[in-house]
A and B are shown apart, each in its own frame.
Chain A
Amino acid sequence: MSETSAVKDKQEHVKHYFVDSDQQFEASKMGMWVFLVTEILFFGGLFAAYIVYRSWYPELYLMASTELDAFWGTVNTVVLIGSSLTVAMAIRSAQLNQIKGLIINLWITIGLACVFMVIKFFEYMYKFQKGILPGEYYTYDGIAHEQANIFFSIYYMMTGLHGVHVVIGIGLMLWLVVKAKKGVFSSQYYTHVEITGLYWHLVDVIWIFLFPLLYLID
């Protein structure tokens, strides 16, 4: 009888309503995947708005895109892709039971995410000073197009929501660091690291779509 999954010895981290550690891990992972699907639909609405307005005002997009700084956009892309690598390394460390490596990799990821946000902050400030503000507060007259404000509304909505996701990711990873320091994680149990990694990859992937669509079309 002991070979049935229902009667395995319980490990400490396994919640009582799960049969065993595997079931718990699989369930958590699947939950995160399903949640990522909702995230894609969430951003999907903005991508749809982007497509609709681009097909109406293609020339506007080409003109307005020149206002975005492709150099810093590229730097940010490299930073985010790097952070995806380090979060993957963090998961690998957890799998190998190297808790010190896990914590270091998480710190690097948090650092890179902060670099991303700082660069984003300066990009935003630079635009604000020129009067490129969202919607009706738009006062910049460097783009000869009546609907220029709409491009930047979409730009601010997309990058803004993405930024919110980056900040949430930073928060999650700080929480992981605290838990890791308490010795919660081991090669037996690293569910939270794994699913936060999944989330972080999605944040990265969304940026990989945003970057060319906004910065590189000119």
Chain B
Amino acid sequence: MATTEAPNTRKIQVQRFKPDEDPKHHYLNAEKGIWSWLTSVDHKRIGLMYLASIAFFFLIGGILALVLRTELLTPARSFIDADVYNQIFTLHGAIMIFFFLVPSVPAALGNFILPLQLGAKDVAFPRLNLASFYIYSIGAVFTLIAIFTGGVDTGWTFYTPFSVETGGNIIMMTLGIFILGFSSILTGVNFIVTIHKMRAPGLTWNKLPLMMWALYATSIIQILATPVLAITILLLTMERALGIGIFDPAMGGDPVLFQHFFWFYSHPAVYIMIVPGFGVISEVISTFSRKTIFGYWAIALSSLAIAFIGFLVWGHHMFTAGQSSLASMVFSFLTFLVGIPTGIKIFNWLATMYKGSIDMKTPMLYAMVFLFLFTIGGFTGIMLGALVVDIHLHDTYYVVAHFHYVMMGGMVMAFLAGIHYWWPKMFGKMYSEFWGRLTCVIIFIGFNMTFLPQFIMGAQGMPRRYYNYIDQFQPFHQFSTMGSYVLGVGFLIMAAYLIHSLLRGEKSGSNPWGSRALEWQTPSPAPHHNFEHTPVIVNGPYDYHKPMSEFQLGIAHSHNGHDADKEVDVETGTATEKA
């Protein structure tokens, strides 16, 4: 027994609660049937439903990408028409960004892990959480209707005036994204309130896992930026429906104003996508280095710094769109500034690994891939932020490659690291370590084959979004296409071994990685209400120099209020008192 001080300097008695290694009752079998999933307000189940949805959209977006790459094998028409090509790249972008990347870590992994890392029983507003999932689904339905009733060929950016004049069902698509935005906002509201109000006793802000800091920064961006997207998309919809003329130059409107509005959301939105990935990487690197994270506050605050500066750089998308040269210079300078907090994170991760006992398990391998690819993506971003260079590289494949290095090489790799890291927590099963590592290598190779050539042809002047190209680019395009097939194979193998793990996987035990983080101090899969006790936190989440027993404390003797008559698994101390 140990005694500690909870907030408000109340004395509370704590004792150690060893997690059950092979739980009979957990959230997956607490209730049965498809209906219990669809109506569940349990954040873990909602997280898994999100996970299934984004996996579905990742599959769709991925297939579209393979179709695009296949079409680009030859300089002229290969097998689809130019109009179809335009629709497919639009859908690839819109689906991957709005339906996969934005909800991937916050809504799927975040929903699952946030209350567990806070030692809370659920998020602050569980019903709102479920509602946000259904809002996401409704947005998805709208988008699917748009695809099957005319399609969209504007690119995922919906630039006016083209998006006002072109055919297809733009209104359905923009309404879908408008609705989707509310899902994102509600998740953000939920997370902010949960982190503020529902932390376990002893979990002060300076003991908050870095994943929580990352999700907190992300949520701030979500609540501040997404409403602006909502109003922009609404104005665009009105523009098409009623011709209100605010963005349409034919009626005296200003198309550059649309770009300002759009990028005021969409630039911070790339930080909605990447910042939670930083959180995952912090967790994974610390766990698999068996070492206290280096520069805790530097990493935590740099997430907030990115969130803040991220709001001030949107103009770097418009260097060639006719904004004033003074504005361009300021935006360029601020763009360089964003590199600083990002660099701080990279160096702190490297310092964390220095002299750590590094264990190259699959999640850690993905973290390494992340560091490598994201650094390339980040540096090429700095080049694009330089005014003169950008005039040359604007709207070329260089931008495409940069964006994919940051988003896929950064975000998706972080997401995969997170999936492999928390997979045992989600399902209590292990996957094949051999296939996991092999797939990681395949994906790494395939990714670089796909996107490295795009830097080169972009620098040589290959414009993005073009259906045809001149012959000199054909070797690059073909190499890139081969790489995309390798990537596709990699993801198929991953799907296979993850499904195999679900069906036949070995039991993982509560804490297969020996992590000190709070979410691993409860059985895997977690109980219906996350913890069988009220956890009490005395150490930071990365204090690997302290014994495991200090990380498994909970309020002794009384219960968490729910299921008050249940036995609690107690290793030491007095018997559990029944309420």
Question: What is A's interface to B at a CB cutoff of 8 Å?
Answer: 1, 3-7, 10, 15-19, 23, 26-28, 30-31, 34-35, 37-39, 41-46, 48-49, 52-53, 134-137, 146-147, 149-150, 153-154, 156-157
Q: What is the CA–CA distance of A136 and B124 in the complex, to the nearest angstrom? A: 46
Question: What is B's interface to A at a CB cutoff of 8 Å?
Answer: 6, 8, 10, 12-13, 120-122, 124-126, 128, 185, 188-190, 192-194, 196-198, 201, 223-228, 230-232, 235, 238-239, 242-246, 251-254, 257, 261, 529, 534, 555, 557-562
Q: What is the CA–CA distance of A18 and B224 in the complex, to the nearest angstrom? A: 27
A132 CB to closest chain B CB, in angstroms?
A: 13
Chosen A-B contacts, 5 in total, with CB atoms closer than 8 Å, are: A4-B201, A34-B189, A38-B185, A45-B261, A150-B244
Closest partner residue, chain A, to B577 (CB atom) = A1
Q: Enumerate chain B residues within 8 angstroms of A49, measured Cβ to Cβ.
A: 235, 246, 257, 261
Q: What is the CA–CA distance of A137 and B241 in the complex, to the nearest angstrom? A: 11
Cross-chain contact of B231 among A4, A6, A46 (Cβ < 8 A): A46
Closest partner residue, chain B, to A154 (CB atom) = B246
With A16-B561, A44-B228, A45-B228 in contact, is A34–B223 under 8 Å at CB? Answer: yes
Q: What is the CA–CA distance of A6 and B493 in the complex, to the nearest angstrom? A: 47
Cross-chain contact of B561 among A10, A26, A35, A156 (Cβ < 8 A): A10
B237 CB to closest chain A CB, in angstroms?
A: 11
Q: Enumerate chain A residues within 8 angstroms of B224, measured Cβ to Cβ.
A: 37-38, 41
Closest partner residue, chain A, to B186 (CB atom) = A35
A127 CB to closest chain B CB, in angstroms?
A: 15
B129 CB to closest chain A CB, in angstroms?
A: 11
With A1-B13, A37-B223, A153-B245 in contact, is A16–B253 under 8 Å at CB? Answer: no
With A42-B228, A153-B246 in contact, is A27–B198 under 8 Å at CB? Answer: yes
Contact B10 A4 (CB under 8 A): yes
A187 CB to closest chain B CB, in angstroms?
A: 22
Cross-chain contact of B558 among A1, A134, A147 (Cβ < 8 A): A1
**What would 20 more interface pairs be, CB under 8 Å, given A17-B120, A38-B188, A153-B238?**
A4-B558, A6-B12, A6-B558, A7-B559, A15-B126, A17-B122, A17-B529, A19-B561, A30-B193, A31-B189, A35-B185, A38-B223, A53-B246, A134-B242, A134-B244, A135-B244, A135-B245, A149-B244, A150-B252, A157-B235
B117 CB to closest chain A CB, in angstroms?
A: 15
Q: What is the CA–CA distance of A41 and B6 in the complex, to the nearest angstrom? A: 37
A77 CB to closest chain B CB, in angstroms?
A: 24
Contact B245 A41 (CB under 8 A): no
Q: Enumerate chain A residues within 8 angstroms of B12, measured Cβ to Cβ.
A: 1, 4, 6
B157 CB to closest chain A CB, in angstroms?
A: 17
Cross-chain contact of A17 among B126, B231, B238 (Cβ < 8 A): B126
Q: Enumerate chain A residues within 8 angstroms of B558, measured Cβ to Cβ.
A: 1, 4, 6-7
With A34-B192, A38-B189 in contact, is A135–B120 under 8 Å at CB? Answer: no
A179 CB to closest chain B CB, in angstroms?
A: 16
Most buried by A among B245, B261, B555: B245
Q: Enumerate chain A residues within 8 angstroms of B251, measured Cβ to Cβ.
A: 135-136, 149-150
Q: Enumerate chain B residues within 8 angstroms of A136, measured Cβ to Cβ.
A: 242-243, 245, 251
Q: What is the CA–CA distance of A54 and B13 in the complex, to the nearest angstrom? A: 64
Q: What is the CA–CA distance of A117 and B168 in the complex, to the nearest angstrom? A: 36
**Top-5 shortest CB links A-B:** A136-B243, A45-B231, A153-B244, A42-B227, A135-B244
Q: What is the CA–CA distance of A52 and B192 in the complex, to the nearest angstrom? A: 32
Contact A34 B193 (CB under 8 A): yes
Q: What is the CA–CA distance of A4 and B254 in the complex, to the nearest angstrom? A: 60
Contact A41 B228 (CB under 8 A): yes
Closest partner residue, chain A, to B225 (CB atom) = A41
Q: Enumerate chain B residues within 8 angstroms of A4, measured Cβ to Cβ.
A: 6, 10, 12, 201, 555, 558
Q: Enumerate chain A residues within 8 angstroms of B257, measured Cβ to Cβ.
A: 49, 52
Q: What is the CA–CA distance of A102 and B226 in the complex, to the nearest angstrom? A: 35
Cross-chain contact of B197 among A26, A48, A53 (Cβ < 8 A): A26
Q: What is the CA–CA distance of A31 and B186 in the complex, to the nearest angstrom? A: 9
With A4-B555, A35-B189, A157-B235 in contact, is A150–B228 under 8 Å at CB? Answer: no
Contact A45 B232 (CB under 8 A): yes
Closest partner residue, chain B, to A45 (CB atom) = B231
Closest partner residue, chain B, to A137 (CB atom) = B242
Q: What is the CA–CA distance of A44 and B227 in the complex, to the nearest angstrom? A: 9
Q: Enumerate chain B residues within 8 angstroms of A31, measured Cβ to Cβ.
A: 124-125, 128, 189-190, 193
Q: What is the CA–CA distance of A136 and B241 in the complex, to the nearest angstrom? A: 10
Q: What is the CA–CA distance of A7 and B561 in the complex, to the nearest angstrom? A: 7
A141 CB to closest chain B CB, in angstroms?
A: 16
Q: Enumerate chain A residues within 8 angstroms of B10, measured Cβ to Cβ.
A: 3-5
Q: Enumerate chain B residues within 8 angstroms of A52, measured Cβ to Cβ.
A: 254, 257
Q: What is the CA–CA distance of A37 and B529 in the complex, to the nearest angstrom? A: 31
